[in-house]
Amino acid sequence: MNKMKLLAEWEYEPVKIQRGYAGRTLYVNVGGFSFKEKPVSEDMKEKFIGGRGFGLKLLWDAVKDTTKWNDPENELVISGGPLCGITQYPGSGKCYTVFISPLTEQTYDSNAGGHFGPLLKFSGWDALEIQGKADRDVIVFIDGDNNKVEIYESPFEDVNAFTVTEALHEYFAENEEDKRNISVVSTGKGAENSYWGCLNMSFYDLRRKAPRLKQAGRGGGGTVFRNKKLAAIVVRKRGIGPTSNNPADLSTLQKVGLKLHKEIRDLDDQQNKMRKVGTPHLNEIMNEYHLLPVHNYKFGQHPEADKIHSEVFGKLFTQGIPDGCWHGCSMACAKAVDGFELKTGPLKGKKVTVDGPEYETCAGLGSNIGIFDPEWIIEANFYADHYGIDTISSGTGFAFVCECYELGFLNKDITNGLELKFGSKDDLMELIHRIGRGDDEFARIVGLGVHRMKKIFAEKYGAPFEVMEKIGMEGQGIEVSEYVPKESVAQWGGYFLTLKGPQHDEAWLIFMDRINKQLPTFEDKAEALHYFPNFRLWFSLVGVCKLPWNDIEPADNVIKYKGIEAAKVPEHVQNYVDLFNAVTGKNITKEELIIQSEQVYNFQRVFQLRLGKGTRKDHYIPLRAIGPVFPDEWEARAEYYDNELKATGIDPEGLTTEEKIKKLQEYRLPQWEQLVDAVYKRRGWNKNGIPTIETLERLGIDYPEVVEVVKKHLKPEDEWEE
Amino acid sequence: MIKVNGEEMQWRPGLTVKDILEAKRYIFPMIGVWINDKPIPRDKFETTIVNDGDDVKVIHMICGG
């Protein structure tokens, strides 16, 4: 690679990390090539903690009420958090991206592993804030060794992820060993051509001699990235060690970490086998419990699902290599397929290392589109990453397209020659390539997502909007992730009463609700939809991964604890409290941990309100998410659904399947409204889903500008009756 | 007759926890079982006999995501 043209540079003073914080954030404007250092106040640390919290605070200060995703003032903020970068506890290399999403038109946050978050912090920055739009493709380089930030003109004609990442690891490293001190954020052409743009964050795998890519997949962060004409963001920092985060109490960190390493070593093989197969251990489990999305969530099970069983992927993944995406992660679930020869597309014939597929990809770009071919899924996974396309949104989006095609709403004339039925492997692969190339009008429409496809298919092709409303699996503008929610009332909330749309990172309550029957009342469900979203949000504030929380548990967890308490994995909750205190020197309790999250949860809710969203009308749910829509869905589990109807007091005898479906919908829709009411009450929101002034005061986030937004929307008729 | 998560299930002499999990097709590896509020260690599922009238709770830990 030739020497890149330097467009701007800025030097900064080095800083020593103190108790998990650099104490300042970095602002880069790629429009005007300006740079700034912003201090992190004690109040910012208290109220926003770090990671996603810092991202939201910086974004709040940067945008106007009217800012859209493609306005120059929209930002892409990347931040790790105070625990990000510790090497003692598994899963501590996460960072969060925050931005206004093209899909949801409100704030979105998406996390990734890899080395970017830790290297950014150890370069002296708690967050990176990118604003503005460049007039040509640029590369931002944070040189943590020489304390400077540089902006280069991008030399890449091909901005796709693997091309850019591989070249920049090579360019900025002095030798092979040095490549591990670098992390690259990239996306690809698919992010330009769709709203599904993901961000790839790299780490260099010395054993494989290849960069690995971890995705902040959801919400269209990659689309924002390319809209700013970013080709890459690169950070380099050498000399990272176990004390780089400068914790207040190193011995506690080591002690807590050792305990979990031992649990993983001793128990993972009996529990989820994360070290061998990663998250695809869920493939057969979800199928068995009727939760694996098949054919656009019509069904939860498929006879061919054994072809994508975790054992199949276990054989395809290279075994025996520690697959942690940050130093010290013994859970090591970042599985990869090595030497995979691509069969299609611009890199046909090339042998590559493919990160994943994860469970969500196996389901999204697999069962949900009627494909049960692991090699196809791996190829689709590779190109989705390479083009910078989210595998979850594209999987659910393609599933919607396939159902529309099979219903006759689309045909080959519309799709420009593609037969997009469930299981059409060649044509669905070609659709991925068309999004990557951006040369096909229909592919561009698909890439706008299910929410917009419904409207465009109706207006342009005469497809019936009311049917697509029922089967289009999206909420708040973004596609549902890959679990069938229709049989769990609590999971309706886990998906559709969320801050940013149906992503499973708030609450996954299907077992607790549906199988364990631990949430019999709406108040029970609301309590779970208060605790779990707040508990899980905390990971995003501090920079740790969710998986070591409950994808491994102490051997005696279900002996010492009972019921919902056991599901919280109390000893691991205590680990997080201890870790936070050991790093920061503070002394929080497990109850205060939840309050930290509640502060940010409610702030983000008000932020959505400020951007014109964030009220009850935005918490809508498609009919397919609450039950069968078409007779074949009912008939695939006729006995089960007949019993569901009987449980509501309706005798299914003598009813047609269509009548049964209608009766069940008539029963379940009011249940949804009851759930919404119960959850809003528990969260301290009014009937319209707006946090009350009392809630803001209780959480100490009653900043004048926050209160002002809320006051504009409070109405007496939305108050709860005593 | 026994109860499993509040639902009635046919009992037979010699019925074990493992038999219940198999009958219900509960394949998730991280399951906790309580019989009449008493926890059963996972390595005893195969040998623990369930008596007629027992109240069995089979709790799947959360997964997903």
What is the per-residue pLDDT across A356-385, written as a single tens digit (0 to 9) for each?
Answer: 899 999 999 999 999 999 999 999 999 999
Which of B9, B17, B33, B59 is the best substitution to test chain A (most A C-beta atoms within 10 A)? B59
What confidence category does residue A709 fall into, taking pLDDT thresholds of 50, 70 and 90?
A: very high
Q: Closest approach of chain B CAs to the CA of A468, in angstroms?
A: 27
What confidence category does residue A722 fall into, taking pLDDT thresholds of 50, 70 and 90?
A: confident
Task: Please report the domains of chain A, with CATH numbers, ordered by start residue.
Answer: 6-236 (3.60.9.10), 268-479 (1.10.569.10)
Q: How far is CA A55 from CA A76, A80, A96, A209, A688, in A?
A: 8, 10, 8, 33, 26
Q: What is the pLDDT of residue B64?
A: 58
Q: What is the pLDDT of residue A481?
A: 97
Is there a contact between A551 and B63 if contact means CB atoms under 8 Å apart? yes
Q: Closest approach of chain A CAs to the CA of B13, in angstroms?
A: 25
- Write out the two tokens for A535: 């508990």
Q: What is the pLDDT of residue B65?
A: 53
Rounded to 10°, the helix A522-542/A51-62 angle is 80
Checking if the pLDDT of B63 tops 80, the result is no
What CATH code is assigned to B2-60?
3.10.20.30
Q: Which residues in A lie closer than 8 A to residue B39 (C-beta atoms)? A: 558-559, 562
Q: Which residues in A lie closer than 8 A to residue B41 (C-beta atoms)? A: 559
Q: What is the pLDDT of residue A234?
A: 98
Question: By CA distance, what is B31's nearest residue in A?
Answer: A558
Q: What is the pLDDT of residue A1?
A: 86
First to last CA, chain A: 69
Q: Which residues in A lie closer than 8 A to residue B42 (C-beta atoms)? A: 270, 558
Q: Closest approach of chain A CAs to the CA of B57, in angstroms?
A: 7
Q: Give the residue-averaged pLDDT of B40-54.
A: 96
Choose among B29, B39, B57: nearest Cβ to A271: B29
Which of A272, A286, A515, A532 is the best substitution to test chain B (most B C-beta atoms within 10 A)? A515
Q: pLDDT tens digit string along A609-620? A: 999 999 999 999
Q: What is the pLDDT of residue A322?
A: 85
Residue with tokens 């569901």: A644
> Chain B residues contacting A, CB < 8 Å?
5-6, 25-34, 37, 39, 41-42, 57-65
Q: pLDDT tens digit string along A303-323? A: 999 999 999 999 999 998 889
Q: Which residues in B lie closer than 8 A to residue A518 (C-beta atoms)? A: 59
Is there a contact between B61 and A569 if contact means CB atoms under 8 Å apart? yes
A548 contacts A572 by C-beta, under 8 angstroms: yes
Burial A266-287 (b: 16+ CB within 10 A, else e): ebbeebbbbbbbbbbbbbbbbb
Q: Closest approach of chain A CAs to the CA of B37, in angstroms?
A: 9
What confidence category does residue A61 fall into, taking pLDDT thresholds of 50, 70 and 90?
A: very high
Question: By CA distance, what is A361's nearest residue in B?
Answer: B65
Q: What percent of chain A has pLDDT over 70?
A: 100
What confidence category does residue A84 fall into, taking pLDDT thresholds of 50, 70 and 90?
A: very high
Instruction: Enter the pTM of the model.
Output: 0.97
Which of A110, A311, A362, A516 is the best substitution to test chain B (most B C-beta atoms within 10 A)? A516
Q: Closest approach of chain A CAs to the CA of B49, in angstroms?
A: 18
A400 contacts A296 by C-beta, under 8 angstroms: yes
Choose among A284, A508, A553: nearest Cβ to B64: A508
Domain locations in chain B? Answer: 2-60
Q: Which residues in A lie closer than 8 A to residue B29 (C-beta atoms)? A: 270-272
Q: How far is CA A377 from the centre of its chain?
A: 19
- Interface pTM (ipTM) of the complex? 0.95
